[in-house]
A and B are shown apart, each in its own frame.
Chain A
Amino acid sequence: MAKARTFQDLILTLQNYWAGHGCLILQPYDNEMGAGTFHPATTLRALGPRPWNAAFVQPSRRPSDGRYGENPNRLQHYYQYQVILKPAPANVQELYLGSIRAIGLDPDLHDIRFVEDDWESPTLGAAGLGWEVWCDGMEITQFTYFQQVGGIECDLVCAEITYGLERLAMYVQNVEFVYDLAFNDEFRYGEVFHQNEQEFSAYNFERADTEILFQHFKDAEKQCRELLTGKKLALPAYDQCIKASHAFNLLDARGVISVTERAAYIGRVRALAQACCEAWLASPMGAYTPRFA
């Protein structure tokens, strides 16, 4: 198998591979979020009895990981490739290894290992068991069997496969500095994103107005609660939950949340997530409706 030469080749290869295995190819969600798991196609669709297979790229923002474009591999904005298979097929590990072959990593030449790494998201009230997948000592994928989301036990256990695209590309392209990645044949990753990292690091750590952010958090929380009273609107409410979560992450990066407050804020976001998940399960798409009824 030829190696995926560029960053976008890598994405296209994964898209084709998972499309070929019956996944819906979705597009990124248009809200800032810390990980692909926040995408409603994961969080909400993981719940309830309906099967669901989807794959998508999700830009992920982790404000406190900003390094002003100076760290070789740490970014406050990066891409995750997320696959969600519900229920998890019995051969899901094999399917995953097939995707690794597809992008040009031959398991017969490398040392691929599934190393225990149970996953937990306190903000989403979600937890699962799984591994980080190592290739020659590098973590290239997070592999999780969801057990719980929004504090609710999953009816059908799904497998979530999350590739850190930049890291994987660095490995495939044999590059040590993320900004040196070939995005396509013409552009380097740095030409696309270096300034982005510099400016957003300054924003995350120095310039973000904390008063405004605290207000954002409160507003999002309030709106979310309102949308969940009366005739419930699960999806717009969940949007507000994501917004609250991101506001919290920014405040955290600005260093204005103390250790004790931190737990309280996380608890508030979790309460929203839980309420949204419950509303989703009561909604037509979330509740059980046989496909051809």
Chain B
Amino acid sequence: MPDLLLELFSEEIPAHMQAQAAKDLERLTVGMLTDRGFLFEGIKAFGGPRRLTLAITGLPAEQKDVREELKGPKVDAPQAALDGFLKKTGLTKDQLKVEKTPKGDVYMAVIERKGRVTPLVLAEIIPEVMAKFPWPKSMRWLPGNSVRWVRPLHSILATFDGEVVPFEFAGIKSGNATRGHRFLSSGIIEVRRFEDYEAALKKAHVVLDASERAEIISHDLKQKAFALGLEPIEDAGLLAEVSGLAEWPTVLIGTIQDQFMDVPAEILQTSMRTHQKYFSLRDPKTGKMANRFALVANMLTKDGGKEIVAGNERVLRARLSDAKFFWDEDRKHSLESRVEKLKGIVFHAKLGTQFDRVERIEKLAGEIAAKIGADVEKAKRAARLAKADLTTGVVGEFPELQGVIGGYYARHDKEGTDVANAVRDHYRPAGPGDAVPNTPVSIVVALADKLDALTAFFGTGEKPTGSGDPFALRRAALGIIRILLENKLRFPLKVSDELLTFFADRLKVALKEKGIRHDLIDAVFSLGHETDLVRLVARVKALQAFLKSDDGANLLAGYKRAANILKAEEKKDNKTFTREVLESHLSEPAEKALFAALAKARGAIIPALEKEDFAAAMQQMASLRVPVDAFFEGVKVNADDKQVRENRLNLLASLRATLHQVADFSRIEG
């Protein structure tokens, strides 16, 4: 069956839009084809610096005939409803059929459309796809024409079965021609099918497929670094970006001047990455950054890239001079002296300046340090200096280096390792892949920073919503959770109920990946008195293990049965059963046995919980399984004698209460 080839050739498309644009082109075209009854065998879409390409294989030469039945209004409906239906279907009244339905007679429209030849359909839908193309940002460029594209469009190549699909968009007639690389090829390339197209482009120095471009870059990077005894520092984001900036990617290696090598590696790397899109290289043995960088050019030159490398080295020297200037200038003023300047930086309109924020964090850090046994003075000192790097030139230039830079400057100011590390690490963990601080002072300041943000923003009502979390509060809560759990830190979260619920939700997300059930977290959280996450997680884990055992599963079933009976009877009697069980009213052996088992278990569960010996608490619960099962087997709860019945219900209520000491079993699913 025939194939479609479509290429939309424009001026340079922003690198970060290319992949999505290729997907959108595919999605929209497929949607329109399916709506018109087309099936096809295969589809591929490509996005690159100057072109979007779509190749569909196995597309039928003709559209199937379409027969559509549309149900209209009832025959006795008002005239307006009928008029609307006629307008929608384009039929006249006498073309409608009447169909009997259980609800009465309704009009039916039968629309039959003869299938058309595919190129005609394509000529109709491609301009429509282009007209509604969802570029994140697009522009007008034609006089007297409001048509938009990401940048001016220059040509459209559209062939079906090797022949041009004729249509027009933005004043451009579709054809069978394209162009190669801007500088490494010249003239027009004519093609008929995808196979010639891809090959012809390669000859004209264009690699069509972004993933192939990325592979070439990645491979050449490794090769060229290896030849120097080095390896590239992986950077997937940068790789994707540079793959969108070159049709013919060429990796070249340049040298960083020695005078910059005592500037911290983070600054060099960030400067090279953000401003110049260079990859950094390192020595695989020491992990130390090397005085080389890799750039990806879109060019092959007869001097083997000599001028290009020389030019890039020159630009880098100017860039790094700037960075080094800031680095040298910044260190002329201590972090301490910068704290005052934070009064001039607004943190948030409702929450005051960065200085106000520091005051809060400092106080909080002192309290946390005292509680967890960290050095109070060091923690307060680090908290005081933590935000001072916001006033430095380096952070002004590279905001993503906040913290890291403060750490360097604290060390330079001889603040001591604990304080410097705490300043450096207080924003961490930066994401799920980032490690958490693990030394006492760093832990304290990282906690204080995040807790302050959470309480402050929750206090002003700036809570995250389903769609937005502008102050990254979810990340802050998750950070606290990870710091506490990974350091096994016993630190009760004294926060509002609302915030505690927020933590509980984050905790569920965090533990879900570790295979811990969210309903069990709910079951323990809803007891209401647990603010120590480490203890909570230990209890949940023990509970989960218990429920996996036979005893646990059976006991849960017994609990559910008891709870259901209680619910029904409590509703009937319009009261809850909370009375003491009267031993004197027990007659059946099974209820006597359960009574005894409950008394014993209750006596043991509480001390076990207090000792945080959750395994022992679960063991006590396990001991209830046999008596519970026996009770339901041998005892009729709803006895005829009113007193016996009430006593038995109180016994079940006592079972419920006993289990609720461990968790709210009613929240447990299954």
Cα A173 to Cα B297 in complex, Å, equals: 22
B346 touches A112 (CB 8 A): no
A142 to chain B, nearest CB (A): 14
Chain A contact residue count (CB 8 A cutoff) = 36
- A109, A113, A145: the one within 8 Å of B301 (CB): A109
Cα A136 to Cα B316 in complex, Å, equals: 10
- A129, A137, A157, A174: the one within 8 Å of B316 (CB): A137
Cα A258 to Cα B15 in complex, Å, equals: 36
Name the B residues within 8 Å of A71 (CB-CB): 322, 325
- A93, A111, A157: the one within 8 Å of B140 (CB): A157
A113-124 interface bits toward B, Cβ cutoff 8 Å, 1 = contact, 0 = none = 111101000000
Chain A CB within 8 A of B173 CB: no
Chain A CB within 8 A of B299 CB: yes
B141 touches A88 (CB 8 A): yes
A248 to chain B, nearest CB (A): 19
Chain A CB within 8 A of B12 CB: yes
Name the A residues within 8 Å of B276 (CB-CB): 137
A136 touches B141 (CB 8 A): no
Cα A129 to Cα B152 in complex, Å, equals: 10
- B14, B316, B318: the one within 8 Å of A72 (CB): B318
B11 touches A93 (CB 8 A): yes
B305 to chain A, nearest CB (A): 8
Report if A138-B140 is in contact (Cβ < 8 Å); known contacts: A114-B11, A114-B12, A131-B12: no
B312 to chain A, nearest CB (A): 4
A53 to chain B, nearest CB (A): 14
- A107, A115, A128, A138: the one within 8 Å of B183 (CB): A107
- Name B145's closest neighbour in chain A (CB-CB): A157
A147 touches B140 (CB 8 A): yes
B139 touches A176 (CB 8 A): no
A161-189 interface bits toward B, Cβ cutoff 8 Å, 1 = contact, 0 = none = 00000000001001010000000000000
Name the B residues within 8 Å of A258 (CB-CB): 344
- Name B299's closest neighbour in chain A (CB-CB): A111
- B142, B150, B311: the one within 8 Å of A138 (CB): B311
| Residues in B185-201 with C-beta less than 8 Å from chain A | none
Chain A CB within 8 A of B622 CB: no
Name the B residues within 8 Å of A90 (CB-CB): 152, 154
Report if A137-B311 is in contact (Cβ < 8 Å); known contacts: A111-B297, A112-B183: yes
Chain A CB within 8 A of B573 CB: no
Report if A137-B303 is in contact (Cβ < 8 Å); known contacts: A90-B152, A114-B12, A118-B137: no
- A93, A108, A113, A176: the one within 8 Å of B314 (CB): A176
Chain B CB within 8 A of A104 CB: no
A259 touches B346 (CB 8 A): yes
Chain B CB within 8 A of A110 CB: yes
A119 to chain B, nearest CB (A): 12
B15 touches A113 (CB 8 A): no
Give the number of A-B contacts (CB < 8 Å).
96
Name the B residues within 8 Å of A114 (CB-CB): 11-12
Cα A109 to Cα B301 in complex, Å, equals: 5
Cα A277 to Cα B150 in complex, Å, equals: 27
Name the B residues within 8 Å of A266 (CB-CB): none
A147 touches B139 (CB 8 A): yes
| Residues in A33-86 with C-beta less than 8 Å from chain B | 71-73
Chain A CB within 8 A of B224 CB: no
Cα A72 to Cα B317 in complex, Å, equals: 10
A110 touches B321 (CB 8 A): no
B386 to chain A, nearest CB (A): 21
Report if A116-B311 is in contact (Cβ < 8 Å); known contacts: A108-B301, A129-B151, A145-B141: no
A110 touches B317 (CB 8 A): no
Report if A116-B183 is in contact (Cβ < 8 Å); known contacts: A90-B152, A110-B307, A145-B139: no
- B141, B150, B298, B307: the one within 8 Å of A157 (CB): B141
Name the A residues within 8 Å of B297 (CB-CB): 111
Chain B CB within 8 A of A23 CB: no
Chain B CB within 8 A of A156 CB: yes
Name the B residues within 8 Å of A113 (CB-CB): 12, 245-246, 298
A110 touches B299 (CB 8 A): yes
Name the A residues within 8 Å of B139 (CB-CB): 128-129, 145, 147, 157
Chain A CB within 8 A of B143 CB: yes
Chain A CB within 8 A of B106 CB: no
Contact-residue bracket for chain B: 35 or more
Chain B CB within 8 A of A213 CB: no
B152 touches A88 (CB 8 A): yes
Chain B CB within 8 A of A260 CB: yes
B304 to chain A, nearest CB (A): 11
A133 to chain B, nearest CB (A): 10
Cα A163 to Cα B546 in complex, Å, equals: 73
- B142, B307, B321, B346: the one within 8 Å of A109 (CB): B307
Chain B CB within 8 A of A87 CB: yes
Name the A residues within 8 Å of B152 (CB-CB): 88, 90, 145
Chain A CB within 8 A of B630 CB: no
Name the A residues within 8 Å of B311 (CB-CB): 110-111, 135-138, 171
Report if A110-B318 is in contact (Cβ < 8 Å); known contacts: A90-B152, A259-B346: no
Cα A118 to Cα B310 in complex, Å, equals: 28
Name the B residues within 8 Å of A137 (CB-CB): 276, 278, 295, 311-312, 315-316
Chain A CB within 8 A of B308 CB: yes
A134 to chain B, nearest CB (A): 9
| Residues in B271-320 with C-beta less than 8 Å from chain A | 276, 278, 295, 297-299, 301-303, 307-308, 310-312, 314-318
Report if A72-B141 is in contact (Cβ < 8 Å); known contacts: A90-B152, A116-B14, A260-B346: no
A87 touches B143 (CB 8 A): yes
B6-24 interface bits toward A, Cβ cutoff 8 Å, 1 = contact, 0 = none = 0000011011100000000
Name the B residues within 8 Å of A107 (CB-CB): 183
- Name A260's closest neighbour in chain B (CB-CB): B346
| Residues in B2-49 with C-beta less than 8 Å from chain A | 11-12, 14-16
A148 to chain B, nearest CB (A): 10
- A93, A111, A131, A259: the one within 8 Å of B308 (CB): A111
Name the B residues within 8 Å of A131 (CB-CB): 12
| Residues in B145-166 with C-beta less than 8 Å from chain A | 150-152, 154
B321 touches A116 (CB 8 A): no
A92 to chain B, nearest CB (A): 8
Report if A111-B315 is in contact (Cβ < 8 Å); known contacts: A116-B12, A129-B137, A136-B308: no
Name the A residues within 8 Å of B137 (CB-CB): 118, 129
Name the B residues within 8 Å of A147 (CB-CB): 139-140
Cα A174 to Cα B152 in complex, Å, equals: 34
Report if A136-B312 is in contact (Cβ < 8 Å); known contacts: A109-B301, A145-B141: yes
- Name B14's closest neighbour in chain A (CB-CB): A116
- Name A88's closest neighbour in chain B (CB-CB): B141
Name the B residues within 8 Å of A135 (CB-CB): 311
A75 to chain B, nearest CB (A): 13
- A138, A174, A259: the one within 8 Å of B315 (CB): A138
Cα A219 to Cα B276 in complex, Å, equals: 43
Q: A147-B140, A157-B141 are in contact. List 16 more A-B contacts (CB 8 A).
A: A90-B154, A93-B11, A108-B301, A109-B307, A109-B308, A113-B12, A113-B298, A114-B11, A115-B12, A116-B12, A136-B311, A145-B152, A171-B311, A171-B314, A174-B314, A258-B344
Which A residues have a C-beta under 8 Å from some C-beta of B?
71-73, 87-88, 90, 93, 107-116, 118, 128-129, 131, 135-138, 145, 147, 155-157, 171, 174, 176, 258-260
A-B contact pairs, 5 of them (CB 8 A): A93-B11, A109-B302, A113-B298, A137-B315, A174-B314
7 A-B pairs with least C-beta separation? A136-B311, A116-B14, A114-B12, A137-B312, A111-B297, A138-B315, A111-B299
